[in-house]
Amino acid sequence: MKFLKIFLIAGLLSSCARDFSEVNTNENNPTTVTPDLLLSGVIRNMMNAQVNTAWGIGNIVVQHHAKIQFVNEDRYLWGEQNSVWDEVYSNYRNLQNLFNAVGTDSTNPYLGVSLILKSWMFAVATDTYGDIPYSEAGKAKLEGKYQPKYDTQEEIYAGVLADLKRANSFLAISGSNLNGDILYGGGANALLKWRKLANSLRLRYLMRLSKRKDVGAEMTEILSNPATYPIFERNEDNAELEYFSSAPNQWPLYGARVGSFDEFRVSKTLSDRLTALGDPRLKVFGRPSQRSVTAGTPKIEGIPNGLSDVNALAYNGGVQGVSRVGYTFACLVCNDAGQAAPDPAAPRALLMTYAELQFILAEARERNMITTGDAATYYNNGITANFEYWKSIVPPQYGIDVTMPANYLSQSGVAYTGGQADKLGKIALQKWVAYYFNGLEAWFDWRRTRMPAIVPGPSNLNNDRVPVRFIYPQKEQSLNGASRKAAVDRQGVDDMNTLMWIAK
């Protein structure tokens, strides 16, 4: 009997041991993910973050939009703004997994594309906060660096520019087996577009760096050899994410409540400037106020930025007298009387456009940083490209004509005439318009040039100063306190008015 019991127990243990690995393996929770899935996830998450950041604060601080309720952002009562920090570092973990998967194989297209994404992500983060973890970021798991140092912005920019240059050279010799590319569609043609993005981004960041360093030689290197360093040549090269008409890959703002959309309205700064130029792009960015439509005189009427809650709600007779944001960006049930419902596949998330590049080149040529091309031609190309872009995006059923008026480029407020200060001001204004709904890029560029003017609203809570950075997340004080303190000691007090290195 004892022998039988022992035999039965041994048999049961043997059975458990034999089945243990199968029972405890969760096939729905893989330990590795293929590069294509990692790539598409990073692109989607970061491009969605571009939209959300633009909507929540980017469009407000540069006065494309204003608010009529819950106006803290508009009055510069910002507090913590952690979205950029959280999105960059959480998605960088997946980029690290991608780097680990491809190793140092420069012929693998995922390496070059990942370097471009890394460069863009960290450029956004350092432009937002200043000194940040960079060289030791993402090394907790493999190297045990749980409290990474904060690199200086100068070091980060050097790394960003070097990686973009490397990415271009890697993609020039890589194979075309690139799946998961939801930005450019994958394949050999997409690799050329990724190279154009790498070099166009280099020009963006070189221009941003130009207050601190002479960048003319590096710009000239790119422009003098288009075969080696291709750049954007038309709107079709734009780095933009197209959305679908149904979930889950919809315009990310469709997840917000309807009331949240109506808190955001067209800024009077935007409506006044474009109305003065007879600029039909205003009809893309805003809708006629409901009161003006009822009166039979449709007019886009913006609201000043930085009003108090009471004054914002009462402005121009109340909400009926203030224009909503344009249909292309509206919620699906935010259509006005007699207007077709918005097309859910119309909006785009923007990373960089051909129009922006042309304005960069116009400024570079005007400042004699480069000798290639003609500043007026670059400038006019940028304006024309932005008009054509919106004309291609806005659905025909909206009944919006975005055709550039015949005299648009020759009118005094647009024509490339006057002294250098006049010309640079016109470039800045048109670039500001072209940056609409592109994350924080318009704010970064304004911080560099201080053009076009941004005037704090009458009820601002920052002593009539436009903020120039986000403060560091407070969690960093406990999670990485020593590194954060070293950065603050080096950079200056951790508030939204401290100029970072690149903007001084």
- The residue from 278, 296, 329 where one domain ends is 329
- The residue from 329, 364, 394 where one domain ends is 329
Q: What is the pLDDT of residue 502?
A: 97
**Shared domain check, 200 and 67:** yes
* H-state helical runs in 307-436: 309-314, 354-366, 375-393, 420-434
Instruction: Measure the CA–CA gap between 199 and 217, rounded to whole angstroms.
Output: 14
What are the angstrom distances between the C-alpha of 161 and each of 23, 198, 352?
Answer: 49, 9, 16
pLDDT tens-digit map of 298-316: 999 999 999 999 999 999 9
**Shared domain check, 369 and 310:** no
326 burial type by CB count under 10 A (0-12 exposed, 13-18 middle, 19+ buried): buried
Question: Does residue 12 lie in a domain region?
Answer: no
Query: CATH no. for residue 40?
Result: 1.25.40.390
Question: Does residue 268 lie in a domain region?
Answer: yes
C-alpha dihedral (63, 67, 73, 77), degrees to nearest 10: 120
Domain that holds residue 172: 35-252+346-503
What whole-number percentage of the chain has pLDDT above 70?
Answer: 94
pLDDT grade, residue 17 (50/70/90)?
A: very low
Instruction: Calculate mean pLDDT across residues 381-398.
Output: 96
**Shared domain check, 210 and 152:** yes
Those residues whose C-beta lies under 8 Å from the C-beta of residue 462, and which sit 6 or more positions away, are 75, 76, 456, 496, 497
**Shared domain check, 274 and 231:** no
* H-state helical runs in 367-402: 375-393
**Tokens in use for 314?**
């009462």
Instruction: Calculate mean pLDDT across residues 89-106.
Output: 95
Task: Give the Cβ contact number of residue 19 at 10 Å.
Answer: 10
pLDDT at 6 over 50: no
Q: What is the pLDDT of residue 14?
A: 44
pLDDT at 27 over 80: no
Instruction: Measure the CA–CA gap between 118 and 236, rounded to whole angstroms.
Output: 23
Q: What is the pLDDT of residue 332?
A: 79
**Shared domain check, 47 and 112:** yes
Q: What is the pLDDT of residue 490?
A: 97
Q: What is the pLDDT of residue 405?
A: 98
The larger pLDDT score, comparing residue 201 to residue 19, is at 201
pLDDT grade, residue 13 (50/70/90)?
A: very low
pLDDT grade, residue 30 (50/70/90)?
A: low
DSSP state of 137: T
Instruction: Measure the CA–CA gap between 436 and 439, rounded to whole angstroms.
Output: 8
**Shared domain check, 227 and 362:** yes
pLDDT grade, residue 193 (50/70/90)?
A: very high
| DSSP characters over 219-275 | HHHHHT-TTTS----SGGG-EEEE--SSTTSS-GGGGS-HHHHHHEEEBHHHHHHHH
Q: Are 331 and 253 in contact (CB under 8 A)?
A: yes
pLDDT grade, residue 36 (50/70/90)?
A: very high
pLDDT at 16 over 60: no
pLDDT at 169 over 90: yes
Q: What is the pLDDT of residue 8?
A: 39
pLDDT at 5 over 60: no
Q: What is the pLDDT of residue 491?
A: 97
**Shared domain check, 175 and 260:** no
Domain count for the chain: 2
Q: What is the pLDDT of residue 314?
A: 97
- The residue from 296, 329, 362 where one domain ends is 329
**Shared domain check, 208 and 354:** yes
Instruction: Calculate mean pLDDT across residues 77-100.
Output: 96
**Shared domain check, 309 and 351:** no
Instruction: Measure the CA–CA gap between 131 and 125, rounded to whole angstroms.
Output: 9
Half-sphere exposure at residue 83, Cβ-oriented, CA atoms within 13 angstroms? 19
pLDDT at 188 over 90: no
- For 242, phi then psi, to 5°, come to -85, 140
Question: Does residue 437 lie in a domain region?
Answer: yes
Instruction: Calculate mean pLDDT across residues 357-368.
Output: 98
Q: What is the pLDDT of residue 416?
A: 98
Average pLDDT over the chain reads 93
Half-sphere exposure at residue 283, Cβ-oriented, CA atoms within 13 angstroms? 17
Determine if the pTM surpasses 0.75.
yes
Instruction: Calculate mean pLDDT across residues 464-476.
Output: 98
Q: What is the pLDDT of residue 255?
A: 80
Strands 132-133 and 150-151: what pairing? antiparallel
Question: Does residue 277 lie in a domain region?
Answer: yes
pLDDT at 158 over 60: yes
Instruction: Measure the CA–CA gap between 181 and 27, rounded to whole angstroms.
Output: 26
pLDDT at 22 over 50: yes
Question: Does residue 19 lie in a domain region?
Answer: no
Question: Does residue 9 lie in a domain region?
Answer: no
pLDDT tens-digit map of 426-464: 999 999 999 999 999 999 999 999 999 999 999 999 999
Q: Are 430 and 378 in contact (CB under 8 A)?
A: no
**Shared domain check, 363 and 308:** no
Instruction: Calculate mean pLDDT across residues 48-61.
Output: 97
Question: Does residue 339 lie in a domain region?
Answer: no
Q: What is the pLDDT of residue 1?
A: 41
* H-state helical runs in 131-244: 140-143, 153-173, 188-209, 216-223
pLDDT tens-digit map of 237-285: 999 999 998 888 899 998 877 778 889 999 999 999 999 999 999 999 9
**Shared domain check, 188 and 77:** yes
Those residues whose C-beta lies under 8 Å from the C-beta of residue 141, and which sit 6 or more positions away, are none
264 beta partners: 67
**Shared domain check, 351 and 304:** no
**H-helix or E-strand spanning residue 67:** strand 65-67
Q: What is the pLDDT of residue 335?
A: 72
Instruction: Measure the CA–CA gap between 166 and 159, rounded to whole angstroms.
Output: 10
pLDDT at 61 over 80: yes
Question: Does residue 341 lie in a domain region?
Answer: no
